[in-house]
């Protein structure tokens, strides 16, 4: 029964994705950025759905199982402030520039902004490398969900394969418009079913007060910050949500907006959506410590699914599992599409056939690369047994540390390509260093002080950007002039 519901759900997603194909205009701009026609509601749902991954649903509950309610302050509430602020200060500007210059990817923008092909290539490699762990958590979550919800009857590799196959189909078929539609549908599904899951489980545990009293009796440390979350860790974790400023998929979704007005509503509602999804996830993780004590490390990734399986009737369990699938796929689709778009626009078209490739061929190469990346991610997922939360945090660390690059591009005329390159390379080097230092250590912070690696890498990247820019020749005024107009400069002053 549960499996049948999930299969029906996946069919529905495919239907929504394929319906959007009716609006497909057959152009590259339509496939890659939906011809910049997405309105406020679809924009909110696709921005939010893309950002709420398995990290928020399974990762948050798994981490809260170990660390308690502190996880909400660590990741959710700060995201409610920082992410819409990044949309406000960065996203709207990127949209305006994208519309004016016809950009489809962030690499195109940075290449043009600093007039450097090499910079674009380096950035492309770094962005793809950082995105792979993020893709991985989606595929892994699909496998975990199906495995747990069927009581271990369906192995992990089947769930991961189903997620990859469905996402590949509707992304290849509908492009970004299909992705935005499917995202909207899936975001509504996981928000509604996530809320429902919370109430059903809490009710089955005898009510919220009773369930929480059990936690207070058995694991009181989960109701406070505890020893694991030091003040410095809480402070430096606030850098992590800056990652949205450099996610290729968020960049692409900004470009789809129909107009400046389309941003207003998503900016105001986004913090409320975050609270609506994270509060139930974190609380269910904490409550899970009562029903399933003693789970070690990554085993807690599945705590939410275990709770659904234990407390919800079979029909509802199937629906709720579909909600988890919705969260997973609504992110994976945009991520793989952005990778496909970058490959097509920034590598194949830029280097090989800039003026020789038809729009049809561009779309074909985009689809081919999407399939290749999904296949690679799927294969890696078969051998990976990591915490979803920690995989996500490492990926976000790299993207957040690249934030000075987009800030300098948008706000600092004097910034140079050498400065940007120095910042990107410092991120690549330091990220690799910290990754190998901390990968095997649960709750790794720099020297055990509570200082997150992201704060160090971000500081060094900022310094590299500023110092190297000031030491090198100022950029060509004609190039800079394309990206800064008088009105904006006057307002900035």
Rule CB under 8 A: is residue 274 a binding residue for another protein?
yes
Least distance to another protein from the beta carbon of 172, Å? 32
Least distance to another protein from the beta carbon of 274, Å? 6
User: What binding mask, one character per residue, do residues 199-228 give for another protein by CB under 8 A, x or -?
Assistant: ---------xx--x---x---x--xxxx--
Least distance to another protein from the beta carbon of 202, Å? 11
Contacts of 422 (CB under 8 A, 6+ apart): 464, 465, 467, 468
Residue 73 or 195: which CB sits closer to another protein? Answer: 73
Least distance to another protein from the beta carbon of 273, Å? 9
d(CA 287, CA 283): 6
Rule CB under 8 A: is residue 96 a binding residue for another protein?
yes
Rule CB under 8 A: is residue 9 a binding residue for another protein?
no
Rule CB under 8 A: is residue 327 a binding residue for another protein?
no
| Whole-number Cα distances in Å, 241 to 350, 463, 482 | 31, 20, 29
Nearest CA to 304 among 316, 325, 288?
288
Region from 112-120, 261-269, 379-387, 444-452 binding another protein, contact rule CB under 8 A? 261-269
Least distance to another protein from the beta carbon of 89, Å? 8
Least distance to another protein from the beta carbon of 77, Å? 4
d(CA 295, CA 219): 14
Residue 19 or 99: which CB sits closer to another protein? Answer: 99
Residue 194 or 419: which CB sits closer to another protein? Answer: 194
Residue 225 or 249: which CB sits closer to another protein? Answer: 225
Neighbouring C-alpha atoms within 13 Å toward the C-beta of 220: 1
Region from 103-111, 184-192, 266-274, 463-471 binding another protein, contact rule CB under 8 A? 266-274
Rule CB under 8 A: is residue 325 a binding residue for another protein?
no
Residue 354 or 491: which CB sits closer to another protein? Answer: 491
Residue 130 or 267: which CB sits closer to another protein? Answer: 267
Residue 212 or 342: which CB sits closer to another protein? Answer: 212
The dihedral sign for the CA sequence 93, 95, 99, 103: positive
Least distance to another protein from the beta carbon of 186, Å? 22
Q: Between residue 51 and residue 90, which ones bind another protein under the rule CB under 8 A?
A: 69-70, 72-73, 76-78, 80-82, 84-85, 88
Residue 214 or 384: which CB sits closer to another protein? Answer: 214
Contacts of 281 (CB under 8 A, 6+ apart): 56, 57, 60, 61, 64, 194, 304
Q: Which residues pair with 179 in a beta bridge?
A: none
Nearest CA to 324 among 67, 19, 61?
61
**Candidate residues 102, 206, 259, 293; the one interacting with another protein per rule CB under 8 A:** 259
| Whole-number Cα distances in Å, 396 to 27, 135, 328, 483 | 32, 12, 17, 28
**Candidate residues 26, 151, 231, 447; the one interacting with another protein per rule CB under 8 A:** 231
Least distance to another protein from the beta carbon of 396, Å? 17
Rule CB under 8 A: is residue 491 a binding residue for another protein?
yes
d(CA 456, CA 432): 13
Least distance to another protein from the beta carbon of 198, Å? 13
Q: Long-range contacts of range 156-159, CB-CB < 8 Å, 24 or more positions apart?
A: 157/382
**Candidate residues 19, 158, 234, 459; the one interacting with another protein per rule CB under 8 A:** 234
Helices 78-86, 264-291: crossing angle, 10 deg rounding: 150
CB 138 within 8 A of CB 332: yes
**Candidate residues 18, 27, 35, 92; the one interacting with another protein per rule CB under 8 A:** 92
**Candidate residues 238, 302, 309, 377; the one interacting with another protein per rule CB under 8 A:** 238
Look-up of token digits 């988890």 = 324
CB 93 within 8 A of CB 109: no
Nearest CA to 366 among 25, 28, 26?
28
Least distance to another protein from the beta carbon of 85, Å? 7
Least distance to another protein from the beta carbon of 276, Å? 9
| Whole-number Cα distances in Å, 431 to 166, 167, 373, 402 | 33, 29, 22, 11
Rule CB under 8 A: is residue 93 a binding residue for another protein?
yes
Least distance to another protein from the beta carbon of 99, Å? 8
Q: Between residue 414 and residue 473, which ones bind another protein under the rule CB under 8 A?
A: none
**Candidate residues 125, 268, 375, 470; the one interacting with another protein per rule CB under 8 A:** 268
Which residues would be at the binding site for another protein (CB under 8 A)? Answer: 69-70, 72-73, 76-78, 80-82, 84-85, 88, 92-93, 96, 208-209, 212, 216, 220, 223-226, 229, 231, 234-235, 238, 259-261, 263-264, 267-272, 274-275, 279, 282-283, 485, 487-488, 490-491
């Amino acid at each position: 029964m549960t499996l049948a519901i999930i299969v029906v759900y996946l069919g529905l997603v495919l239907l929504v994705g394929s319906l959007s194909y009716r609006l497909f205009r057959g152009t590259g701009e339509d496939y890659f950025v939906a011809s910049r026609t997405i309105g406020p509601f679809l924009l909110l749902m696709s921005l939010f759905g893309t950002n709420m991954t398995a990290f928020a649903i399974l990762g948050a509950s798994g981490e809260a199982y170990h660390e308690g309610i502190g996880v909400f302050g660590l990741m959710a509430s700060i995201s409610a402030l920082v992410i819409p602020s990044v949309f406000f200060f960065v996203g709207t500007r990127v949209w305006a520039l994208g519309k004016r210059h016809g950009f489809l990817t962030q690499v195109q923008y940075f290449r043009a902004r600093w007039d450097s092909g090499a910079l674009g290539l380096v950035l492309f490699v770094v962005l793809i490398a950082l995105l792979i762990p993020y893709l991985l958590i989606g595929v892994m979550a699909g496998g975990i969900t199906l495995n747990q919800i069927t009581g271990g009857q369906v192995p992990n590799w089947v769930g991961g394969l189903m997620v990859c196959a469905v996402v590949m189909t509707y992304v290849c078929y509908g492009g970004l418009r299909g992705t935005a539609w499917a995202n909207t549908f899936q975001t509504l599904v996981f928000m509604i079913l996530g809320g429902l899951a919370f109430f059903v489980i809490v009710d089955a545990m005898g009510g919220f007060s009773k369930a929480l009293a059990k936690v207070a009796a058995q694991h009181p440390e989960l109701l406070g910050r505890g020893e694991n979350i030091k003040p410095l860790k809480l402070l430096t974790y606030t850098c992590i949500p800056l990652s949205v400023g450099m996610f290729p998929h968020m960049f692409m979704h900004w470009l789809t907006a129909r107009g400046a007005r389309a941003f207003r509503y998503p900016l105001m509602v986004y913090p409320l959506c975050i609270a609506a999804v994270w509060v139930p996830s974190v609380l269910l993780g904490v409550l899970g410590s009562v029903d399933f004590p003693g789970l070690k490390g990554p085993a807690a990734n599945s705590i939410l699914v275990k709770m659904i399986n234990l407390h919800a009737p079979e029909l509802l369990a199937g629906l709720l599992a579909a909600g988890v699938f919705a969260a997973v796929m609504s992110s994976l689709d945009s991520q793989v599409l952005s990778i496909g778009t970058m490959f097509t626009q920034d590598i194949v078209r830029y280097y090989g056939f800039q003026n020789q490739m038809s729009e049809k061929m561009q779309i074909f190469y985009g689809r081919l690369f999407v399939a290749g990346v999904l296949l690679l991610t799927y294969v890696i997922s078969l051998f990976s047994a990591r915490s979803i939360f920690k995989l996500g945090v490492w990926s976000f660390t790299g993207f957040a540390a690249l934030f000075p690059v987009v800030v300098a591009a948008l706000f600092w005329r004097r910034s140079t390509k050498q400065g940007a390159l120095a910042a990107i390379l410092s991120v690549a080097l330091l990220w690799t260093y910290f990754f190998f230092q901390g990968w095997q250590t649960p709750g790794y912070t720099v020297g055990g002080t509570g200082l997150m690696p992201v704060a160090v890498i971000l500081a060094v990247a900022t310094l590299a950007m500023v110092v190297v820019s000031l030491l090198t020749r100022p950029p060509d005024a004609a190039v800079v002039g394309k990206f800064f107009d008088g009105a904006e400069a006057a307002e900035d002053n």
